[in-house]
Amino acid sequence: MNQTSTVPEEDLTDAFRVFNDLSEQLIDSFTVLENRVATLSAELAATREARRREAAKSAQLTDRLAKLLAALPGGVIVVDGAGCVQEANPAAGELLGEPLRGEIWRDVIGRAFQSDTAAGPDVYLHDGRAVSISTCPMAGEPGQILLLQDVSETHQLHERLARHKRLSAMGEMAASLAHQIRTPLSTALLYVSHLARPNIDSGDVTMITERIRDRLGHLDSLVRDMLVFARGGSSESAEIDVSELMQDLRDAAEPMLGADFELDLQPEVAGRAVRGNRDALLGALQNLVVNAIQACGAGGRIEIRATAISDEEVALLVCDNGPGIPEDIQDRIFEPFFTTRGAGTGLGLAVVQAVAHAHQGSVWFESTPGGGSSIGLCLPTSGRAGFGTSVTQ
């Protein structure tokens, strides 16, 4: 016998209602999910579009930068932390020669630049062009950006301008020069006329000849100073050992100075060299020694000193314990023809300055009224020992 159990009708109705509710909830959740997917897809598409636009923009920037680098008249080189050239524009290639990219910067320096000449902060290429190099570190990564500029024309212009200035200074001072020459010349002529006297004895002849020689010597050194000043030093150039130069100065100065002087060579100048004209430098330093002797008088103390200012510069100084330079004339002492001495030409320090400039250096002085003076030349050392390291490290 089959026995069927019957589910009460209200239970079935409840079950259907629950089922319906659940179905509706599911449909709602699905709709929410569908909407969310649509929103996310739209956001993704927008992000993709933004990225695509950004990529296009940065490609455009890179392209613009490359064009800019190619168009720049100056050389640009990017050196990485290991000292290797990463980037170089055509102007850099034209200055330094190819290849550049991938090369070690130190090797490029050795290959492209003259090792023993420097024009102040600038360096010379093998073909004679002068190049100024400035560096700036890369932001956020090791390495440097180097900017190179051909400054040969600027150098020539500076030289021409300096020469014009010197010539116009000489023009202005022509009258004073005529006076400077006339005095020793007329003295010499006077002595010559004494020589023509009848019955002159041999002692007088010797004495007068000596005086004539002295006056002519004065004229000779005056004319030599004028020429050095007009040329702006000298164009001849050789490697000069600083210690040897100072020893030469000592030998030249010793007969004038006697025992009251000292030569002080600081150890860091050993092996240092400058490039230029030995005679011009020696002459300039001798002018300083003569000034020191004239300032000190008898019993004065004079020191000739060579010292390093930096890796790339030395100072050659003459120091005395004389009366010092009065403050009110300190800014005039390098002017041609400025003198406070009756017999002076006022060319001594002008020549020193012209020689210093001709060697890409400068003059330096320190003087305390009543406390002596130190006057000298600051000169770049040749070889630029620190050059390679400063740009690759």
Give 152 or 330: the residue with its C-beta nearer to ligand ATP.
Answer: 330
Give 336 or 361: the residue with its C-beta nearer to ligand ATP.
Answer: 336
Give 88 or 173: the residue with its C-beta nearer to Mg ion.
Answer: 173
Instruction: Give phi and psi for 380, each to the nearest 5.
Output: -70, 140
340 belongs to the binding site for ligand ATP (CB under 6 A): yes
* Partner in contact with 339, chosen from Mg ion, ligand ATP, none, beta carbon below 5 to 8 Å by kind: ligand ATP
213, 288, 279, 215: which is closest to 256 by C-alpha? 288
User: Going along the chain, which residue ranges are E strands?
Assistant: 75-80, 85-88, 113-119, 122-125, 130-137, 143-150, 238-241, 261-265, 273-276, 302-310, 313-320, 362-367, 373-380
350 to 389, contacts with ligand ATP by CB under 6 A? 350, 373, 375
* Partner in contact with 306, chosen from Mg ion, ligand ATP, none, beta carbon below 5 to 8 Å by kind: none
Which stretches of the chain bind Mg ion, using CB under 5 A? 291, 348
Which residues are bridge partners to 240 per DSSP?
274
234 belongs to the binding site for ligand ATP (CB under 6 A): no
286 to 315, contacts with ligand ATP by CB under 6 A? 287, 291-292, 295
Q: Which stretch binds ligand ATP (CB under 6 A): 113-121, 171-179, 232-240, 319-327?
A: 319-327
CB of 329 to ligand ATP, least distance (A): 6
349 belongs to the binding site for ligand ATP (CB under 6 A): yes
Q: How far apart are CA 40 and CA 139, in angstroms?
A: 37
Contact 276, 238 (CB under 8 A): yes
Residue nearest to ligand ATP (CB): 348
* Partner in contact with 346, chosen from Mg ion, ligand ATP, none, beta carbon below 5 to 8 Å by kind: ligand ATP
203, 198, 204, 230: which is closest to 347 by C-alpha? 230
Q: How far apart are CA 261 and CA 303, in angstroms?
A: 5
236, 229, 228, 223: which is closest to 166 by C-alpha? 229
What residues have CB less than 8 Å from 150, skipping those under 6 apart?
74, 95, 129, 130, 131
Structure tokens at 144: 């440097």
Q: Which stretch binds ligand ATP (CB under 6 A): 4-12, 82-90, 340-348, 354-362?
A: 340-348
CB of 95 to Mg ion, least distance (A): 44
- Interface residues with ligand ATP (CB under 6 A) are 287, 291-292, 295, 320, 322, 325, 333, 338-341, 344-350, 373, 375
